[in-house]
């Protein structure tokens, strides 16, 4: 059982996490690097697809927008265990195709499955934040750019993207946190090669009560506080840009 030992204050458990002690097994750092590989790639996919979906749904001529929005944000609403079960069967079939027909290695296919699954979980956050940012967007700016001869791509990157960037980054941070902290889905569809940091913490709690888990939890709390502070800064910047766009 874990207990507070004031006489035992030490940084040895942080050293155990970093793998710099002679008796460290390296599992903590391997799982940490897996999280740093999976979470950013899943975030890039979530931001790209979520931003495009939010911009598309903001158009007035799109039919059945409410139904489409409900489907896109459903991974955020459906219980995670149900989503994980569905993903298990879907990605099992997809994994067989990638391995047998394309000849990809089992480890690479495992990473692809986990990254895509985490991207699906992160897309709803991007859609919601970008949609909220687009509410105050002045569409006359894009119309003026088009009248001056700018194409859709130039208009998006030069006019629209700078104004909605705080919402895009906020959604990306939420997607990153979701992927970095997720444990249920990765345990369903991943293997030991894709063991992430939350998965390693879960195993540590189940198999042995290690004080290293508390050291890792402290690091994750500090990371979460830093990300939340960044989100607050971006929220205030988004409000200022929204006011400038409206005026």
3 state DSSP class of 156: helix
Residue by residue, pLDDT tens for the chain (247 residues) are 555 555 556 677 777 777 666 666 678 888 889 999 999 999 999 999 999 999 988 887 888 888 999 999 999 889 888 989 989 888 888 888 888 888 788 888 889 999 999 999 999 999 999 998 888 777 777 778 878 877 778 888 888 888 888 889 889 989 998 999 898 999 988 888 888 988 888 887 776 677 788 888 888 888 888 888 887 887 777 667 656 555 5
What CATH number does residue 190 fall under? 1.10.3720.10
**How many domains does one find in the chain?**
1
Strands annotated E in 76-115 = none
Asked, for residue 210, whether it belongs to a domain, the answer is: yes
> Does residue 132 contact residue 167 with C-beta atoms inside 8 Å?
yes
Lookup result for tokens 């400038």: 244
Asked, for residue 16, whether it belongs to a domain, the answer is: no
Determine the straight-line distance between the first and last CA of the chain, rounded to whole angstroms: 60
Asked, for residue 179, whether it belongs to a domain, the answer is: yes
Asked, for residue 191, whether it belongs to a domain, the answer is: yes
Asked, for residue 13, whether it belongs to a domain, the answer is: no
Asked, for residue 10, whether it belongs to a domain, the answer is: no
**Residue 110, domain extent:** 26-246
Who's near 183: CB < 8 A, 6+ residues apart? 196, 198, 199, 201, 202
pLDDT at position 2, please?
54
> Does residue 215 contact residue 14 with C-beta atoms inside 8 Å?
yes
Asked, for residue 1, whether it belongs to a domain, the answer is: no
Distance CA 28, CA 5 (A): 23
Asked, for residue 139, whether it belongs to a domain, the answer is: yes
**DSSP letter assigned to residue 60:** T
């Amino acid at each position: 059982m874990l207990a507070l030992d004031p006489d035992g204050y030490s940084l040895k458990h942080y050293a155990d996490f970093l793998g710099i002690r002679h008796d460290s097994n390296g599992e903590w750092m391997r799982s940490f690097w897996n999280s740093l590989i999976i979470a950013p790639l899943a975030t890039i996919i979530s931001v790209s697809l979520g931003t495009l979906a939010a911009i598309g749904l903001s158009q007035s001529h799109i039919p059945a927008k409410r139904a489409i929005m409900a489907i896109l944000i459903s991974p955020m609403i459906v219980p995670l265990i149900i989503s994980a079960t569905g993903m298990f069967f879907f990605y099992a079939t997809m994994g067989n195709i990638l391995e047998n027909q394309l000849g990809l290695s089992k480890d690479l296919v495992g990473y692809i499955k986990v990254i895509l699954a985490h991207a699906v979980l992160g897309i709803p956050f991007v859609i919601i934040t970008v949609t909220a940012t687009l509410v105050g967007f002045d569409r006359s700016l894009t119309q003026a750019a088009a009248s001056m001869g700018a194409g859709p791509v130039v208009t998006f990157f030069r006019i629209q993207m700078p104004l909605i960037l705080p919402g895009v980054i906020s959604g990306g941070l939420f997607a990153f946190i979701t992927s970095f902290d997720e444990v249920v889905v990765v345990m369903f569809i991943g293997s030991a090669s894709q063991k992430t940091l939350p998965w390693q913490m879960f195993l540590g709690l189940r198999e042995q009560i290690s004080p290293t888990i508390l050291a890792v939890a402290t690091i994750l709390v500090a990371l979460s506080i830093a990300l939340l502070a960044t989100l607050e800064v971006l929220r205030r910047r988004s409000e200022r840009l929204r006011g400038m766009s409206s005026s």
